[in-house]
Every structure is written in C-alpha cells, then in structure tokens.
Chain A
Amino acid sequence: MSSSTLRSSTPADALSVSIRELSRRFGDRVVLNELSLEIAAGEIVALIGPSGCGKSTLLRHIGGLDSPTDGSIAIGGLPVTGLDARSAIAFQEPRLLPWRSITRNVEVGLPRGKRTSADRDRVAELLELVKLSSSAHLRPREISGGMAQRVSLARALARRPGVLLLDEPFGALDALTRLSMQDLLLDLHTAEPATIVIVTHDVDEALYLADRVILLGAIDPTESAAHASIRSTVVVPGLRPRDRGSGDLAELRAELLEGLGVPTHHLSAR
C-alpha cells in the first residue's frame, strides 16, 4: 500500500559506501580504530554494538558531519569531504525545530530553493507514509516522542538520498509501532531503493531489516568499548520480508547477543 503511493515519484539512485581504514580519535581517546567496510548500493546494513562504542560517530563520518583522523570514506566512488547532499541523516534525537509545524519541519529535508507544488506533494506523501497526515499542522511540543522520530525519518527521506543514515530511528517507539515502522522502512526501501545504514540496539530489528549485521566493538578485550572496529559480520539469510520467528534467525540472534556480552542461555543446535 505504502509502496504504491511512492511509485509515482522518481526513485533515487542508491549509492555504494566505501570506508577504508577509518580512524577517529578525540584527543588521545581512540573511538574508531582502522575500520574498513564496503557497502553495496541498495544494501541495508545494521550497526550494533555496546553503548559508547562509536556507532553514531561512524554514521556522522559517512554523512560528512565529522572528519576522520585517518582513513577515507567514499560514497558512490567519490570521496566524502564534508557535508554531503548524497546522504541524509536521521539523528539519534529527533531534532525538530520547535517553532515550525510538522509539515514545515519535513520541508527542511527538501533540497533548498523555491518550494514548488511538487515539493508540497512530496511532503504530503511522506507524512502519509509515516502516518502523520492528521498531525501535519501540529508543533513538535504537541506530539509524542515516537511521532517526533517519524517526522525526523520523513525529513531524511524528503531529499531522496542515495544513502540513508538512521541512528536508532525507532528507539523511542513502543514495541507495536516499532514493528510497523520496520515494515514501513522496508516498503520505502522497495519503492525508493537507497542504501541504508541503520544503528540499532535491537538485535531482532537488525536481523529483520538488514542484509548484513555489523557488530562493532574493541577487538582486543583489554581495550575499552571504544577503540572500535568490526568484531564480526553476520550475513542474514533469506529474502525480506522475513519470518520474525524463524529458527535460523534464532541462531544468529544468540550469536549476536553473545557478541554483545549478553548471556542468552541458548542451546545451540550445533
């Protein structure tokens, strides 16, 4: 249903992301350590890892909001040197402008310039998608935290980015809305295939959405959680939409949770 509403608009071209030996230090504190990752155009990659391990920092680097101490990043084969119109980020906090209505907040995501009627249609379409049409006129203080996150998602989609960067986009949502938003994101991905990098704390969410799940953290257990590189990569089998209760996924879930340091008491079939 939601994918058909978007089919009218020209689909964005998904772009590949290539991260080479990326290091980021804040002072003498190493947050990212020689991290390399290739993401194919149109792929959905989930980043998981303990709090403070550098997931948001990695996302900010891909979006050109922060520059690496060492290493390089390229989107679609061209290097990222600063703020970049090829990607759009939905921050960990909704970051809505409190004096603007929901509609006008989503408009911020459109490419700058004169607003045309096509722009208005685009915003209306996005609000419809994130189920906020009836709240379009409200101010941010009049909506709930989960609604605010949906506004932030719609804003990031507005400019049809080649790379969509989502930092815990569903973190503030209740379990039910979270599930329907995951399906919504997959619909969006079908309709407008962008490359998606999504940070999440929810292993099930990662396994449901992603082609690959990347577990970040310190490789050397004597280091702190920061000093992060890729600890393991899980290629999720099966085509989307996936069966949320699938047995294969249960195996992977246990593996990832162990990787995060959570004892699962899972009796492996192996």
Chain B
Amino acid sequence: MSTLRTRVVSLNSGTPVLERPLVGDVTGAPVPVTSEPRPRRRWVRATVLGGVIPIAVIVLWQAIATSGLVPSYRLPTPLSVWAAGVDLYERGVLYQHIAISTQRVLLGFGIGAIVGLALASIVGLSARASELFAPTLGALRAVPSLAWVPLLGLYLGLNEDSKVALVAIGAFFPVYTTVAPALRHVDAHLVELGRSYGYSGPALLSLVQLPAVVPAVISSLRLALAQAWLFLVAGELLGASLGLGFLLVDSQQNGRIDRLFLTIILLGILGKGTDSAVGLLERFLLKRWGS
C-alpha cells in the first residue's frame, strides 16, 4: 500500500511536462526537427531486404527453366542469359549498344528538360505568354507521342537526330506540364512579401519563385527521365541499327530469347541507375531548398 503511494508521488513529481521554461519560446510547441539520424544499419538492412525479391525471382526462374515445364526457346535459363551477355561483350558490341542508347537518352533528356524548363518559366510567370502558348502546347501534348516517329524519320532521317529529338519530346512534356502550373501557383503572399521588400524581376524570381518550385522541378525531372527511356526504346524499335531497342527487335527476329531477356534486364538496370542519380541530386537539392 505504502509503496504504491510513493510510486504515484514520484511519478507525478518526476515528470517535468508542466515545467516549461518561461524564457525563450512560450508560444507553443515547435514542429520537431525531422533530421533523424541515418544509422548505417538501416542502410544495410534496406539493401538486404531490397535484394530478397530479385534473388527469389532468379531462383524461381532457374527452377522453372530447368524443370522442363517451359521449353527453352520460350524461357532461357539465367545462366544462358548471362552467357549471351558475355558473348556480346566479347564481340565488342554490347558496350556499343549500351553506350549509344545511353547517349541518346542523356542528350534527349537534357535538351527536353532545358526547353521544358524555359517554356514552363515563360508560361508560368507571364499570364500573356500563357495565353499565347498554353493552348498550342496542350494540343501538341494530346498527340500520342509515337505518332511523331514517322514524321521525325522523314524530316531528320533514321539517324541520331531523329532519335534524340524523339527522346527530347518525351522528356519535354513532363517538365513543362509540371513546372508551369507550379510556378503559377507559388504562394501569392510570398511573392507579395518579396515585392514589398523591394525585390522584382530576376531578383524576385531567385528569392521566391525558383526555390518554391524546386521540389516540382525535381519530381518532373524524374518523370522526364523515365519518359526518355520509354521514347528511346520506341524510337529504336522502329528503326535503328544500333542500340538496345534495336537489339530487342534483332533478337526477336533471330529467335534469340536469351538476348531479349538480357536487353530487358539491361534496360531495367540502366533506367534504375539514371533514376538513382537524379535521386541523389534530389536529396541534395531538397536539403538546401526543401522546407
């Protein structure tokens, strides 16, 4: 009985919740700082966990492919896919295919993103420019993107330019359609604040509008990159003599299912790789400009 009572008393006096200091902030609870520590162990756990499903898939794949349930011209074994990769590598073409595709993606993505950002800034910041450009761009966006392929082929030939142009079209629209409205909807109160403290034009842009749309720009770039790979494969499928898309068509026509699998896996790895690069950029930028 008496122990119980002492415990209750010590519980009450031991909790300092009511004793908030009166100096400093007495105005309410601030949002807790969210820069939580990133222990190395969490990173390791994430890597291990993230690897579980791919490994399971490979094991299952090997089991099915060797069981005889599916004929080998329908499903190659993981090992034969690996061997196909080594074979192409030794002949010196694997690197060529990868390099040319990556180059097309990066060039097209760069051009599309820059043009997208430029037009989005004009349309997002000026009501007049918006009235001028927005309907046309909206209509162009409604054209199914692959419809451009024959036209680009005719105008630019079945060479690098037409493929880079197609990738650029693919990368342009996500950037334009995300960033222009983001700029238009920057908090008008903050813009007015900037103006009232003497900022205008480019100075106001870099004080308020640009930082405010950093998160939108980054997520649009990630989308644009995914679109870039999509458009690359589409362009290469429809006419190329080199590149991963070409390798897909070529393998299909020659019945090389092992190379088909290889190419699909390579596209996955490359796409994920470039996406992670943008992800790193995102982490850096959000640390600086995120709220």
Contacts and interface: CB of A to CB of B under 8 A. Distances in A.
B28 interface: yes
Contacts of A98: 291
B199 A176 contact: no
A50 interface: no
A89 B195 CA distance: 11
A244 interface: no
Interface in A39-68: 63, 65
B290 interface: yes
B289 to A, nearest CB: 5
Nearest to B289: A99
Contacts of A141: 31, 291
Contacts of B195: 65, 83
Contact of A146 (B28, B192, B203): B28
A223 B24 CA distance: 45
Chain B interface residue bracket vs A? 20 to 34
A111 B203 CA distance: 13
A109 B30 contact: no
B24 A134 contact: yes
Given A99-B289, A109-B197, A140-B291, A91 B25 contact: no
Contact of B208 (A83, A97, A143, A173): A97
In which size bucket is the chain A interface?
A: 35 or more
Interface string B173-198: 00000000000000001101111111
A176 B23 CA distance: 10
Contacts of A145: 27-28
Contacts of B134: none
Contact of B198 (A83, A134, A172, A174): A83
Contacts of B290: 99
Given A99-B211, A141-B291, A112 B23 contact: no
Contacts of B203: 112
A264 to B, nearest CB: 29
A143 B30 contact: yes
Contacts of A108: 193-194, 197, 207
B196 A146 contact: no
A91 B27 contact: no
A83 B194 CA distance: 11
A95 interface: yes
Contacts of B199: 112
Contact of B27 (A111, A134, A147): A147
Given A112-B203, A144-B25, A174-B26, A95 B190 contact: yes
A131 B24 CA distance: 6
B57 interface: no
Given A85-B198, A147-B30, A99 B291 contact: yes
B33 interface: yes
Interface string B1-35: 00000000000000000000011111111111100
A172 B26 CA distance: 12
A144 B189 contact: no
B202 to A, nearest CB: 12
Given A98-B291, A131-B23, A144-B30, 18 more contacts: A63-B196, A65-B196, A83-B196, A83-B198, A95-B189, A95-B192, A97-B190, A99-B291, A112-B203, A134-B24, A138-B30, A141-B31, A142-B32, A146-B27, A155-B197, A174-B26, A176-B22, A176-B26
20 contacts: A63-B196, A88-B196, A95-B189, A95-B190, A97-B190, A97-B193, A99-B288, A99-B290, A135-B25, A141-B31, A142-B31, A142-B32, A143-B25, A144-B28, A144-B29, A146-B25, A147-B25, A174-B26, A174-B27, A177-B26
Interface of B: 22-33, 189-190, 192-199, 203, 207-208, 211-212, 214, 288-291
Q: Which 4 A-B pairs have the closest CB atoms?
A: A146-B27, A98-B291, A144-B28, A95-B193
